[in-house]
Amino acid sequence: MRRAGLAAAGLAVLAALAACGAPDGSQERDRAEEPARTEGATPGAGATVPVEADGSWSLRLADVSEGPAWPLPAGSPERFGLGTAAGAGRIAPWDRDVRPDGTGLPPGSGRAADGERVWIAKCSACHGPTGTEGPNDRLVGREPREGFPFGAEPRAGPRTVGNYWPYATTLFDYITRAMPQNVPGSLTADETYAVIAWILARNEIVADDVVMDASTLAAVRMPAAGRFVPDDRRGGPEVR
Ligand code: HEC
């Protein structure tokens, strides 16, 4: 656990070294051998890296390797002084997983009417006043209502929440962590439920007056539910 976390953290140091024009192939080697990221890799979450009294931290070479696997220029410092500690308060806005079955949905609720206010203030600049205009992803639109051309025809029409998303619950997962893109993690749970109610109502998936909460959101069946299968192709051109 300790070694895995340090090796993952070591990549950041390698990237910094590469930017200075240091190593030579060792970076690719290290990335290929990188173990899956484990919890506790982040200073503050698992304290695998020593954090100074003022909250700063930096890796020592000895922390990431039994001995340097890459040559460092003579006179390199023992510490590079990169990064700051990610404390609980900085991790919390990103640590909000919601599964397709609704596990992880927080308390709170909202209606489409409230969601419209959130939408106009915080979403419409990028997704358009009605969710169709862009300039970024189009979120509203049900066409084509029959068939599902996207697998066989990668260029088929815009993919929207209405014609493509298999689960409504994962809208919460995505929006709460990633949107609005300029201030991700800033919406309250009520605002998130409300704006999801608005998006689903505009897609004609739920009624305008539904109260969206953990149980009503998990009960929504999306038009594209059941349209996705595990991709078990073995290199051939066929699409299921
Ligand atoms: C600053 C621009 C910006 C703002 C503001 C913004 N978005 Fe986005 N949104 C994007 C971009 C860009 C993407 C595509 C991101 C990607 O594909 O990685 C996106 C993608 C999405 C998606 C996924 C679409 C899909 O089908 O994959 C959803 C849902 C979404 N935004 C909802 C919202 C909501 C709700 C708000 C307001 C609370 C919001 N966005 C505000 C820029 C923005």
Neighbours of 88 (CB within 10 A): 9
Average pLDDT over residues 133-149: 94
- Share of residues in the chain with pLDDT > 90 (%): 48
Angle among Cα 213, 214, 216 to the nearest 5 degrees reads 65
Higher pLDDT pick, 237 / 180: 180
Q: What is the mean pLDDT of residues 99-120?
A: 97
pLDDT band at 6 (very low <50, low <70, confident <90, very high): very low
Q: What is the distance between the alpha carbons of residues 195 and 214, in angstroms, rounded to a whole number?
A: 14
Q: How far apart are the CA of 197 and the centre of ligand 1, in A?
A: 16
With the most atoms of ligand 1 within 8 angstroms of its CB, the residue from 123, 140, 191 to mutate is 123
pLDDT in tens, 15-53: 333 333 333 333 343 344 444 433 333 343 333 566 677
Q: Are 224 and 143 in contact (CB under 8 A)?
A: no
Residue 109 pLDDT grade (very low, low, confident, very high; cuts 50, 70, 90): very high
Burial of 177 (0-12, 13-18, 19+ CB in 10 A): middle
Residue 199 CA: nearest ligand 1 atom is 35
Ligand 1 center–CA 181 separation, angstroms: 6
What are 116-127's pLDDT values in tens digits? 999 999 999 999
Output the CA torsion sign for 143, 146, 152, 153: negative
Tell me the CA–centroid distance for residue 102 and ligand 1, in Å.
Answer: 21
pLDDT at 39: 38
For residue 158, give both structure tokens: 């815009």
Q: Which amino acid belongs to residue 60? A: R
Cis preceding-peptide flag for 184 (omega within 30 of 0): no
CA 178 to ligand 1 centroid distance, Å: 7
CA 5 to CA 12: how far, in whole Å?
Answer: 12
Q: Quick one: which of 182, 192, 198 has its CA closest to 98? A: 192
